[in-house]
Chains A and B, each alone.
Chain A
Amino acid sequence: MILHPSIMALFMSSFLICLLLMYSAYYGFVILRKWDIKSGSEQQLELERRTYLISTILTYVCGFQLISLFLYMFTADILHPLFAGAMCASGALSVNSYGYPTLLLKIFNFMAAGLWLVLNYTDNRAYDYPLIRTKYRALILLTPLIIVETYLQTKYFRGLKADIITSCCSTLFTSESSTIASDLASVPSVPGKIAFYAIMALTVLSGIYLYLKGKGGYIFSAFCGLTFIVSIISVISFFSLYYYELPSHHCPFDILHGEYHYIGYPLYLCLFGGTLAGMGTGVLMPFRKTASLMETIPAIQKRLVVFSLVCLLIFTVMVTYRMATTPFILEGY
C-alpha cells in the first residue's frame, strides 16, 4: 500500500470518527432504554448530562467529516501521477471500484451528520426533549454507515499500487487506468442548462412559499435534494468546462486548484450548505405538531430556508457569471 502521509491522516480520522460514533451509539442505546424526563433520579440526571457529550461529539464529527471529504479529494489528486493514464483526481479514484463509492458515502455521511445536528438543535430548544428517541435511533442508524465508509476507504487505499519501475523485470505496464466516467460527461449542454435553471427556480420558489406561508416543507426539501444532484451533474457536464475553457476537461476536482483561483471551494461549500439547510427543513416537518415545538420549528425552518436560498443563489450567480463572462463557448462542440 502507498504509505503517503495524507492516506495515514485519512485512516486516522476515519478510525477516530468511527470510535466516537460507536461510543455515542452505545449511549444512544442506554438513553433509548432508560430515558424518563419526568424522573429526578440520578440516573436520569446523568443521562441528561450525557446528551451534552453526544451533541458535542456529533458537532465535531460533522466538522471533521467535511474536512475529511476535502482531504480525500486532495489525496486522490496528489496520488494521480502514480498511476499510468490518470490525468487528475478522477483518474486516481477510478483505479479500483472502491474510489467513487467512498467519495459518495463520505458526502452522504456529512449530510447525515449535519441533518442530525439540525434535529438536535431543535430538540434542545424544547422544554421536554420531544425528539430524543428519534434522534438517538437516527444516530444508531448512522453508525454503521460510518463504519462502512471506513471499510470502503480502507479497501480503496489498500488496492492502490503505484505503476513504478521494478528492478529487474519488464518496466512496461499494460494497465491503463480507465478515464473519467464518460456517461456523466456526455449530458448535452443546452437541455442540461435548461434543466438546471428550471429546477433551481422551482427550488427558490418553493422556498419563498415555505418562508411566507409556512407550508410545503417536504416539497422544498425534496427540491433541494434534487438540486444537489442536478448541480453536481451540471458541474461535471458543463459548468466546469467554462472554468477550464476546454471542451473535454470534465473533472469536478480540478476547480479546487490554485490555478483556477480555488473557485471550487465557494462553489461546493455553497452547494453543500444550501442543500443541507434545505433538507433540514424537511427533516423537521414531521414534528411540527408537537406541543413543545409548535413555535420553535417554524422559526428554525425560516432561518434554514433563508440560509439555503442564499447559498444556492450564490452558487447560481457564480456559475452564471462565469458562463456569461468567459469567451469560451460550449455549444458547437
Chain B
Amino acid sequence: MIELTDIKKVFNAGRPNEFTAVEEVSLSLDSGKVTVLKGPSGSGKTTLLGIIGCMARPTSGRIHLTGPLMQGMAFAPKGAPAEVTSLPERFLTEIRRRAFGFIFQQFNLIRGITVLENVMLPAYPMGDDFKSLRERATRILKDFNLSGKLSSRIEWLSGGEAQRVAISRALINDPAVIIADEPTAHLDTKLSAEFMDIVKRLKGEGKTVIIASHDPIVFDSPIIDRVVEMRDGRISGEHIRS
C-alpha cells in the first residue's frame, strides 16, 4: 500500500553542517500489517516515519500510495499507484489528514484546552460540522474508557490517560494507517503492555500500524508482522514474522 523507492533526505544541504538522515531506503509496506522500525537514536527512524506519513518531502526518491483513498484524486491514474512525492503541501496534508494518524513520543497534546477539543482538532480543517465531529470524538473516547474526562484539562491526566487521549486523537479521522514514534519511551511496563493491546485491537480493525521503537516490549511482541532494522540512515536488516 505504501511504497518507498530510493528515498534520501538531506538536511542543511550545501552548508558545513550538512547531514544525511536517510539514504537509499526502499520499502514496501502492506496494509493491515504491523511494522516496527528498529534502531538506535540517530538511525533515521523518526525522519523516515515523517516521510512515510506524508509529513515531509524526501530530497530525492519516490513514494507511491495505493488504496481506496487515492481514488477520486485527480493525480491518481485509475488503478495504478499514485505518486505523491512532489505534491504541493495542500494535497499532501489532505492525504495525511485522511489516511494517517500520528502518535508522538511526548503525546504532544495542547495544554489549556479540554480532552475533547484536543481529540477534535485534527478534523477542524476537514470542514465537518461541529456537532457530528463532537459525537465522533465522544464515541472514540468512550471506547477508551475516557468518558469521564471529556472536559478535563490535559494537565490533570495521568500518564495512561494521556496516552489514550493521544491515540484517540490519532483515530478521529478514521485513518487507514497509524504511525507511532517511540510510543513507550515514557511509559512503565504495565502501560507499555496496555499500548500493545491497543495496537492489537487496531490491527484487528484492519488498520496498518507502523511503529518506530527500540523497546523490546514493542519489537518482541507477537503481534508484530515485520521488523525493519535501521542504522545510520540505511536499512540494515529485516525480519518477517510468521
Nearest A residue to B87, CB-CB: A127
Nearest A residue to B13, CB-CB: A42
What residues on A are CB-neighbors of B60 within 8 Å? 40
Given contacts A40-B58, A127-B91, are A292 and B75 in contact (CB under 8 A)? yes
Given contacts A42-B13, A292-B74, A295-B74, are A127 and B88 in contact (CB under 8 A)? yes
A232 to chain B, nearest CB (A): 38
Interface membership of B239, Cβ < 8 A = no
What residues on B are CB-neighbors of A296 within 8 Å? 74
Is B90 within 8 A of A124, CB to CB? Answer: yes
| Residues 29-71 of chain A, each 1 if its beta carbon lies under 8 Å from chain B, else 0 | 0000000011111100100100000000000000000000000
A295 to B85 CA separation, bound complex (whole angstroms): 22
Main secondary structure of the interface of B (DSSP, over half): loop
Interface membership of A129, Cβ < 8 A = yes
Interface membership of B151, Cβ < 8 A = no
What residues on B are CB-neighbors of A41 within 8 Å? 13, 59
A318 to B28 CA separation, bound complex (whole angstroms): 64
CB pairs A–B below 8 angstroms (21 shown): A37-B88, A38-B86, A39-B86, A40-B59, A40-B60, A40-B85, A40-B86, A41-B13, A42-B12, A42-B13, A42-B59, A45-B57, A48-B88, A48-B89, A124-B88, A127-B73, A127-B75, A127-B88, A127-B91, A128-B86, A129-B88
| Supplied contacts A39-B86, A40-B61, A292-B75, 16 more A-B pairs, CB within 8 Å | A37-B86, A40-B59, A40-B86, A42-B10, A42-B12, A45-B57, A48-B89, A124-B90, A126-B74, A127-B73, A127-B74, A127-B87, A127-B88, A128-B75, A128-B88, A295-B74
A186 to B1 CA separation, bound complex (whole angstroms): 73
A216 to chain B, nearest CB (A): 25
Which 5 A-B residue pairs are closest in the complex by CB-CB distance? Answer: A127-B75, A40-B59, A40-B57, A38-B86, A40-B58
Nearest B residue to A36, CB-CB: B86
What residues on B are CB-neighbors of A37 within 8 Å? 86, 88
Nearest A residue to B7, CB-CB: A40
| Residues 8-47 of chain B, each 1 if its beta carbon lies under 8 Å from chain A, else 0 | 0011110000000000000000000000000000000000
What residues on B are CB-neighbors of A42 within 8 Å? 10-13, 59
| Residues 92-127 of chain A, each 1 if its beta carbon lies under 8 Å from chain B, else 0 | 000000000000000000000000000000001011
What residues on B are CB-neighbors of A126 within 8 Å? 74
| Residues 289-330 of chain A, each 1 if its beta carbon lies under 8 Å from chain B, else 0 | 000100110000000000000000000000000000000000
A261 to B60 CA separation, bound complex (whole angstroms): 62
What residues on B are CB-neighbors of A38 within 8 Å? 86
What residues on B are CB-neighbors of A39 within 8 Å? 86
A39 to B58 CA separation, bound complex (whole angstroms): 9
A12 to chain B, nearest CB (A): 34
A127 to B11 CA separation, bound complex (whole angstroms): 25
What residues on A are CB-neighbors of B74 within 8 Å? 126-127, 292, 295-296
Name, among A41, A124, A127, A296, the residue most crowded by chain B CB atoms within 10 Å (CB to CB).
A127
